[in-house]
Amino acid sequence: MFALLGYVGTPTGTEHVKVTAPAKVPLVGMFTGAEALRVPFNRYVFHVRASYYDETEKIVEQVISTGGQKIAVFYQNDGYGQAGLKGVEIAMGKRNLKIAALGTVERNTIKVEDAVKTLQAVQPDAVVMVSAYTSCAEFIRQMKKAGSAATFYNVSFVGSKALADALGKEGSGVAISQVVPFPWGTSVPVVKEYQAAAKKAGFATTTSARWKAF
């Protein structure tokens, strides 16, 4: 095997490295922002995404810059969720702030009732979310039903379209961080290069053409 491309997940990724690194097989483009795959440096792991620490730093910066102070975290109880939680803790610590409340959900479930009760009790200005789109969507719906006025911030792993489709009209007040350039814009040089290469290869590069292709 020459290389492994586009593998997904934090818990799985940390296990992959235990096998691929000793075998000197490159692991390219892991779909995770976990710090465990970045520190210590591994010459056989090639990242194309920002880390969860970077994402959560920018989310906290955004909340604070728009007047929010009380930030809670809803996270999946596994390596993925804990990586995002750690990023928020670091970002808050840099600003001498503490997380207002924590809520968890078990992987592959949507049992969010306890998390909703805990977080809504503190009435946060914003909730940073580090979980799958199904549990995030259920959490957001239940928080809104409980009267929450918080803005809900998701790290990029959640999947923008999947979460938007799951929420429908209830998607107002939800934000998702973006860790790669918007592929259908034209203002970023690397996107122009991508579009030219895609066009040459016969792939659709505009938003309208993309949806027609589906």
Residue 206's pLDDT is 56
pLDDT, averaged across the chain: 91
Question: 154 or 1: which carries more pLDDT confidence?
Answer: 154
Q: Quick count: other Cβ atoms within 10 Å of Cβ 99?
A: 19
**Residue 82 belongs to what domain range?**
52-176
Residue 12 has pLDDT above 70, yes or no: yes
**57 and 130: one domain?**
yes
State the pTM of this model: 0.83
**138 and 205: one domain?**
no
**90 and 16: one domain?**
no
Tokens of 49: 């995404």
Residue 213's pLDDT is 39
109 closest CA partner among 85, 79, 130, 131 = 131
Residue 169 exposure: Cα atoms within 13 Å on the Cβ side: 0
91 closest CA partner among 119, 68, 112 = 68
**158 and 93: one domain?**
yes
**67 and 132: one domain?**
yes
**12 and 103: one domain?**
no
The residue among 29, 46, 63 that closes a domain is 46
**118 and 159: one domain?**
yes
The residues pairing with 127 across neighbouring beta strands, listed in sequence order, are: 72, 152
**41 and 71: one domain?**
no
Give buried/exposed letters for 140-175 (b at 16+ CB in 10 A, else e).
bbbbbeeebebbbbbbbbbeeeebeebbeeeeeebe
CA distance 116 to 135: 11
State the Cα angle at 175 between 11 and 76, rounded to 5°.
Answer: 25
pLDDT tens track for 94-126? 999 999 999 999 999 999 999 999 999 999 999
pLDDT tens track for 34-70? 888 999 999 999 998 889 999 999 999 999 999 999 9
**69 and 146: one domain?**
yes
**130 and 167: one domain?**
yes
pLDDT tens track for 153-199? 999 999 888 999 999 999 999 999 988 888 888 888 999 998 999 89
**79 and 118: one domain?**
yes
Structurally, the chain folds into a number of domains equal to 3
CA distance 145 to 28: 42
**135 and 58: one domain?**
yes
